[in-house]
Structure 1
Amino acid sequence: MSKNYDKILEEYKELCDEEEDVNKELEINEIEKEQTNACKHWLRKVGEMKKDVKGLEEKYKKSFSCLCGLCPFFRLVKLGGRIVKKTEKVRNLKAESNNIRSLMVQKAPAPHITNPTNKISEFPSLEENVKELQDCLIVENLKRICVLGPIGVGKSTIMNRLHQTMKGSKMFEIVFLIAVGRKRNERYIQQELLKRLQIKPKKFSDEQRKSIIHEQLKNRSYLLLLDEVFSKIDLEEIGINDEHKGKVVFASRYLDVCEQADEQIEVKRLSNMDAQNMFWEKVGVHLKDNPHIKREAELIIKFCSGNPYLIKLIGNHLASKARVPATNGTDPAI
């Protein structure tokens, strides 16, 4: 039974990695794309599966605690059978993820915004990071720029803001934004570039793709934004080199990725004022002056240490609690 248990844990970990990749892609593309019902359904099924696997994990651990007390044999056989069946379901659910990314649909066009660079962000400390990147892009000899920071600090938000801003400027002819992710490589980046360049994805060899991309971009001013980079990327293998007029910006949580960059920008955490504003924006500004939760709110904001992801996560959770109707005639507690 131990081999079957190890197998389900292996499949479960891979499923969790797939879920993380899908969520990250949704986050990266939130400006232009949205989930389909099929995508939401898959994520919901993954959530349910995670609960089931945790339940089996607890039962498995308990089975060892009673082995010395001669745990009934038929219970162990039954548990082993459940683990085998659940492993197959986890594997099938993981396989379904291959269709999920193609089931993200384009959002309806947003209303045209004139001069989008007037106000890049509602949070000045995030805006400072974007402004620093814009300043680097002006410097001619800075071809490779790395945006470094821990998970949840706002790298993807900054890359999206930069993408939005640069698309509305005349600095570059074409701006690419590609979410690389944990399991993607140079070939995936090539395929995404070819799509944007409106070249039909025929069965090109790696060398052919490299040559096509090089020829297409060598005389163009372009900006390539690579988000969620987990390992070093060989730009030469993609078809991008220093002879090009273009520039590349990486976003990563790993320092070794930044070793190939000409300039490194470490993402600053939100200022205390921005952290408070983001928290109350998520929870509800109408609760800001509530004396019953003021102290707890201050502690939560301090705990988040200016990390936007944590602030949004906790803020959304508290907002959902606050929306539950009160049953005793008093304000709902957070």
Structure 2
Amino acid sequence: MIEDFVAGIASKLGEYLVAPIGRQFGYVLFYKSYVEDLKNEVKELETARQRVQHVVDEAWCNRKPIQTAVEDWLESVKKESKEAENLLKHGESEKSACFRGWLPNPVVRHPIGRKVKKITKVIHGLHQKSQNSNFEKVYYENTPIGFVNATTSTARPVDKKEDGLKSRALITGDVMKAIADDRVRVIGVYGPGGVGKSKLLEDVERRVKEENLFDVVAMANVSRNPNLKRIQKEITDVLGLHLMNEKTVRGRAYRLREALESDPKKNVLIILDDLWEKLELKEIGIPCGDDNKARGCKLLLTSRNRDVLRIAMGSEQEFRLDELKHEEARRLFERTMGNRVNDPEFETWVDGVVKNCGGLPLLIVPLAKGLKHKDLAAWRNASTNRDLSDVKSLVELSYNDLKEERIRSLFLVCALTSGRISMRDSLVYCMGLGLFKKFSNTIQKARDRLIEDLHTL
């Protein structure tokens, strides 16, 4: 029994003493073999690096983001390969034999051989890693811009310039409250052309993403003559859906609706700008009921006509966006123009220029940009001679969009007084023009019709 115990101790001592001693001698005796192994591993690793780098370069050209693990691997390969090359050069430059080449020089070979053995394992590990399944696809797809994540919802510093227009800030705040209200599914913003409805939607979209109110936000421009394929593409692009292989509008609508309904837990906001008439949501692929009421998602809409929002699209809350008052219009002009607006040579002409824009940001901003580098003659001309081309196009579009002749006549009555006319005077003018013959059994009926027509405007 004592003999077995002694034999066991001797065996263990052999493991703990002989093996390490043998390893130390191996660094000297098998030095050349270790060096050859390292050279082969470096060569194989370089082949693997070139293969991965080619795929990475191709992905980069296609604007695909590269996996972090792949980028880290390339950096490690670069670092370890450089270290291996330096070690091999150092070994070649040292005198590794003594006694006229008869015996290896242990003082030189031992430390270099140990380093060679160690780095060979590292190089081999990197090579094995490149054959991993994770390296089959070195890139990943960008998160669709419609998906709100930690990056898009990160709050950014507030730009104080954006808070300069109080009327816009108030409307934006009201719209944000309606969007956050679970009881409201469809929200509308209406107002004349050029007042900034599209800009307001952009601000709301940004805030919704910053405050992380929805999981998915998609926006599309409908326009006067809706192109269903284009609208579908604008929505599917931000959702990361590739549906253009679907040949029919109906097929794309089915796939889009399927995607939007795939996860009931996701909160989805769809923003549709510039509606001129009823838009059939099911033809786009937006989930809705038979009454064209959005289902499973929230809608934010804009139109010049309130009836399009509340009657055709079933909006539950609408907000009117008016022209800017003179003070705010001037502030917007000054903000766009910059310091030149304070130049005494031009300052006296600012009010006239701003007034000619009629409180429409669509006219104020481009005019301010255009005058920024113009001389005094251009300022005087902009102040005293109104260029009616842009204003005319906006008014003409609004007028032509009115379907009934009675409403068009009421539009002209209001235009004659720049909209500053009392209800009583409007009623007198309209009755004098015979606009309410069908409704003039009583004054009250004519007045009720006038109120309804004014709402249409």
What TM-score, normalized to structure 2? 0.42
Q: 1:308 is matched with which residue: 323, 343, 361?
A: 361
Q: Is the 8 A contact 1:149 1:252 kept in 2?
A: yes
Look up the match of 2:253: 210
Look up the match of 1:255: 306
Counterparts of 1:320-331 in structure 2, within 5 Å, are 320-322=373-375
Amino acid of the structure 2 residue aligned with 1:280: E
Instruction: In structure 1, list runs of 5 or more residues that go unmatched.
Output: 1-105, 325-332
Post-superposition offset of 1:119: 5.0
Look up the match of 1:151: 193
Q: 1:319 is matched with which residue: 344, 354, 372?
A: 372
Q: Is the 8 A contact 1:278 1:312 kept in 2?
A: yes
CA distance in structure 1 between the aligned counterparts of 2:153 and 2:213, rounded to whole angstroms: 18
Q: Going by fraction, where is helix more abundant, 1 or 2?
A: 2
Q: Are 2:213 and 1:167 aligned?
A: no
Distance 1:117 1:128, change over 3 A: farther
Amino acid of the structure 2 residue aligned with 1:238: I
Amino acid of the structure 2 residue aligned with 1:142: V
Q: 2:335 is matched with which residue: 277, 281, 289?
A: 281
- Per-residue CA deviations over 1:267-324 (Å, capped at 9, x if unaligned) read 133343322221122333243251x444421122233332212211322222131499
Q: Are 2:232 and 1:180 aligned?
A: no
CA distance in structure 2 between the aligned counterparts of 1:148 and 1:128, rounded to whole angstroms: 15
Post-superposition offset of 1:216: 1.6
Count matched residues: 216
Q: Are 2:241 and 1:195 aligned?
A: no
Post-superposition offset of 1:181: 2.3
Look up the match of 2:319: 265
SS in 2 for 1:158: helix
CA distance in structure 2 between the aligned counterparts of 1:252 and 1:238, rounded to whole angstroms: 18
Q: Are 2:172 and 1:130 aligned?
A: yes
CA distance in structure 2 between the aligned counterparts of 1:145 and 1:113, rounded to whole angstroms: 22
Distance 1:118 1:321, change over 3 A: closer
Q: Is the 8 A contact 1:125 1:269 kept in 2?
A: no
SS in 1 for 2:222: strand
CA distance in structure 2 between the aligned counterparts of 1:193 and 1:176, rounded to whole angstroms: 6
Q: Is the 8 A contact 1:210 1:238 kept in 2?
A: yes
Q: Is the 8 A contact 1:186 1:234 kept in 2?
A: no
SS in 2 for 1:304: coil
Counterparts of 1:61-80 in structure 2, within 5 Å, are none
Between 1 and 2, higher relative CO (CA 8 Å, sep ≥ 6) is seen in 1
Amino acid of the structure 1 residue aligned with 2:317: E
CA distance in structure 1 between the aligned counterparts of 2:221 and 2:367, rounded to whole angstroms: 25
Q: 1:297 is matched with which residue: 342, 350, 374?
A: 350
CA distance in structure 2 between the aligned counterparts of 1:117 and 1:135, rounded to whole angstroms: 21
Look up the match of 1:142: 184
- CA-based RMSD of the aligned residues comes to 3.1
Q: Is the 8 A contact 1:148 1:267 kept in 2?
A: yes
Distance 1:192 1:311, change over 3 A: closer
Look up the match of 1:227: 273
Q: Is the 8 A contact 2:222 2:272 kept in 1?
A: yes
Distance 1:177 1:298, change over 3 A: same
Amino acid of the structure 2 residue aligned with 1:320: H
Look up the match of 1:236: 282
Larger C-alpha radius of gyration, 1 or 2? 2
Post-superposition offset of 1:224: 0.8
Look up the match of 2:402: none
Post-superposition offset of 1:191: 2.7
Amino acid of the structure 2 residue aligned with 1:157: K
CA distance in structure 2 between the aligned counterparts of 1:143 and 1:246, rounded to whole angstroms: 7
Look up the match of 2:155: 115
Amino acid of the structure 2 residue aligned with 1:202: N
Q: Name the % identity.
A: 24
